[in-house]
Structure 1
Amino acid sequence: MSLETLLSFTLVAALLVMSPGPNGVLIAKTVPTSGRAAAFSNVGGFVSAFFLHGSLSILGISVILVHSAEAFFVVKMVGAAYLFWIGLKALRDALSRKAIAPTVQPARNKRTLVRAFGEGFLTNALNPKVSMFYLAAFPQFIPAGEGAIAASMMLVATHSLINALWFGAMIMLLAKVSRAAGNPSFQRWLKGVTGLVFMGFGLKLATLRP
């Protein structure tokens, strides 16, 4: 793979990562409510899901997913239901009268980190748009022949690195203002906005067509 090809893919992937989406919303919710460690666990889930989708694309399973209306519909609806459930849960927490104490730091709890990783992983693993991105990108940027698999994994690694750098910077920025935004009223407001946005993403994904 030439340097020019890799740089071209990097630009496309960077624009995709930086565009507003469920990942950014999840990070914006996690940092002030659960801490930096949980947010980095979210990012770990993102990256793991990217490699899963990349591997499936390389093996050709994602081709079946996109070309099979039934398979695409199942994965699409499961992903949409998961995003909608996250949004509904956040909205329920926002409407709850239970105060969220700013001194609580659940990110230090190992179970919270595992849950945060799972949220990041499922948010992307159940999103067929990630597979569709790889299926659209691989034919344009990888060479045909023996080096196709290695080139494909390099593209997945590049996409994952851009994702980690972008959201890592976002986490550090949000962490600096988390004290000012750590009061219970702000956290309820944030959960409410997050819930509505995630529910919107879920509905949008449910109407997505291959």
Structure 2
Amino acid sequence: MDSINIAAFIFVATLLVISPGPNGVLVAKTVPLSGRRAGFANVWGFVAAFYVHGTLSVLGISVLLVQSAQAFFVFKMLGAAYLCWIGFRALMSAWRPKANCSKLSPVEEKNLVSIRTAFFEGLLTNVLNPKVSMFYLAAFPQFLPVEDSASSAYILISAHAAVNLLWFSAMVILISQLKTLSISHKVSKWLKSSAGFIFIGFGAKLGLSQP
């Protein structure tokens, strides 16, 4: 596969990865509240989701989202509902009575989100995102050669995953340096509330978007 083609794809994928979206908000919420390991679990969930979307694109299953307005609508609403659910859960956690929070030990406070939960949050946030599906249906095929498209496809998927891994790992490390934020109840409440409203906003925007 031509190196210029790979470089062009990496450039487009980088623009997608660094653009503001649910992934950055999820990492910014998870790391201060649940630690660096949970943040990296989010990131590995993102990476796994790219391979899911890429494989569906290679198999042609994702074409159903383009050919069927009903399929796209159902998929879009599932994604919107999931983002809103993350938002509502963050708000409920933020506005939980302070007395309940004080009963938690420092270890319990730091591990509000388990590694497994963090991974699946990252995975589902991307798997149920129609915008990622559209990227793999619209932009992705433009970079594939006619011959040997399956192996070339996974080279590009891996490149996209690598860009994602580097960008969000750097974000996890940067946020994890601000350790003092996680010990303040007021900051924790503000962070959860902000993330909650932003996720609900993303979910509403996705739900109201047109095919």
Q: TM-score, normalised to structure 1's length?
A: 0.93
Whether the 8 Å CA contact 1:107–1:113 is kept in 2: the answer is: no
The CA distance in 1 between the partners of 2:92 and 2:30, in whole Å, is: 16
The CA distance in 1 between the partners of 2:105 and 2:207, in whole Å, is: 36
Fraction of identical pairs, as percent: 52
Q: Which residue matches 2:84?
A: 84
Q: Which residue matches 2:140?
A: 138
Structure 1 residues 180 and 194: alpha-carbon distance in aligned structure 2, compared to 1, 3 A threshold:
closer
What secondary structure is seen at the aligned counterpart in 2 of 1:61?
coil
Letter in 2 for 1:104: V
What secondary structure is seen at the aligned counterpart in 2 of 1:164?
helix
Q: Which residue matches 2:30?
A: 30
Q: Which residue matches 2:114?
A: 112
Give the deviation of 1:137 after TM superposition. Answer: 1.9
Q: Which residue matches 1:124?
A: 126
What secondary structure is seen at the aligned counterpart in 1 of 2:106?
coil
Structure 1 residues 106 and 51: alpha-carbon distance in aligned structure 2, compared to 1, 3 A threshold:
farther
Give the deviation of 1:105 after TM superposition. Answer: 5.5
The CA distance in 1 between the partners of 2:141 and 2:181, in whole Å, is: 47
The CA distance in 2 between the partners of 1:87 and 1:102, in whole Å, is: 25
What secondary structure is seen at the aligned counterpart in 1 of 2:210?
coil
Whether the 8 Å CA contact 1:37–1:107 is kept in 2: the answer is: no
The CA distance in 2 between the partners of 1:116 and 1:149, in whole Å, is: 30
The CA distance in 2 between the partners of 1:128 and 1:120, in whole Å, is: 15
Q: Which residue matches 1:13?
A: 13
Q: Deviations over 1:62-115 (max 9, x none)?
A: 111222111111111011001001101111221222336693356669x81111
Letter in 1 for 2:106: T
Q: Deviations over 1:11-42 (max 9, x none)?
A: 11111100110000000000000000011111
Q: Deviations over 1:33-65 (max 9, x none)?
A: 000001111111111111001000010011112
Whether the 8 Å CA contact 2:33–2:182 is kept in 1: the answer is: no
The CA distance in 2 between the partners of 1:85 and 1:169, in whole Å, is: 27
The CA distance in 2 between the partners of 1:30 and 1:49, in whole Å, is: 18
The CA distance in 2 between the partners of 1:107 and 1:66, in whole Å, is: 42
Give the deviation of 1:140 after TM superposition. Answer: 1.4
Q: Deviations over 1:129-185 (max 9, x none)?
A: 11110111222111112x111111111111111001000000000011122443111
Q: Which residue matches 1:168?
A: 169
Unaligned 5+ runs, structure 1: none
Whether the 8 Å CA contact 1:102–1:182 is kept in 2: the answer is: no
Moved more, 126-135 or 18-27: 126-135
Q: TM-score, normalised to structure 2's length?
A: 0.93
Whether the 8 Å CA contact 1:76–1:127 is kept in 2: the answer is: yes
Q: Which residue matches 2:75?
A: 75
The CA distance in 2 between the partners of 1:143 and 1:119, in whole Å, is: 34
What secondary structure is seen at the aligned counterpart in 2 of 1:64?
helix
Q: Deviations over 1:184-207 (max 9, x none)?
A: 110100000000000000011112
